[in-house]
Structures are given as C-alpha cells and as structure tokens.
Amino acid sequence: DGGITQSPKYLFRKEGQNVTLSCEQNLNHDAMYWYRQDPGQGLRLIYYSQIVNDFQKGDIAEGYSVSREKKESFPLTVTSAQKNPTAFYLCASSIGTPQGDEQFFGPGTRLTVL
C-alpha cells in the first residue's frame, strides 16, 4: 500500500528539549511539506522540499529545522527555540506540478509541551 506515515502519533516534550517528528512516504513523490495546525485554524506551512537535498522555509519556520537526505523521508525537528510548539503537525507529499496538485497527508503527530 502506498501512503505517508508519521510517527509518533502523540509526543510529549519538556521545555528546553528538541524533538524530531518522522515522516516517510512511498508514493515516489518529489515534493514534501510540513504543516502546523492549531485548534480552529487552517494549515500553516513550516517547511517544504521540492527535491532531495533541498528545502525552503515556509511561513512559520522559526524554531524548526528539517532535512531531506532521501526522497522518501522528511523529518522535522522542533527545537527549544520554538516557544509555543503545542500543536497538531501534518506531513504531506505531492507529485509537484507547476500549477499545483493534490497533497496526500499523513495521519499527523500531536505534540504537547509539558
């Protein structure tokens, strides 16, 4: 089965800790994305990657970091510099056509700061 997996489903972080959220896809998609969703809000773009070994900041990149060493994987690190990290984090992928295309989402990781 093709799809996107995220782990863990729930994550608890103490203040001052860095944590890494996993995202893996086997859809052979070039583009991958990380979004943050707060209650009652839409999706806000953190980082995106259009090709391996390259990524771009989104609208709210401060306090986050990513890597794209493999086409299938796009992990997100939430650093201690992110002051309000409690949120629902969604990873997505798409083929990557110039006019825009369907995004496929993983099941999400819910991060809570203790």
Give the residue, chosen from 43, 52, 60, 61, that forms a contact with another protein under the rule CB under 8 A.
Answer: 43
Site string for another protein, 6-35 (x = CB under 8 A): -------------------------x-x-x
Kindly state whether residue 55 participates in binding another protein, applying the rule CB under 8 A.
Answer: no
CA-nearest of 4, 33, 25, 7 to 110 is: 7
Instruction: Identify residue 75 by its one-letter amino acid code.
Output: P
Take residue 48 and report the two structure tokens written for it. Answer: 């995106």
C-beta closer to another protein: residue 9 or 14: 9
Query: Are residues 34 and 22 in contact, defined by beta-carbon separation less than 8 angstroms?
Result: no
CA–CA gap between residue 19 and residue 1 (Å, rounded):
28
Give the residue, chosen from 25, 49, 93, 103, that forms a contact with another protein under the rule CB under 8 A.
Answer: 103
C-beta closer to another protein: residue 31 or 52: 31
CA-nearest of 101, 97, 100, 48 to 74 is: 48
Q: Residues in the site for another protein, rule: CB under 8 A?
A: 31, 33, 35, 40-45, 48, 58, 90, 94, 96-103, 105-108
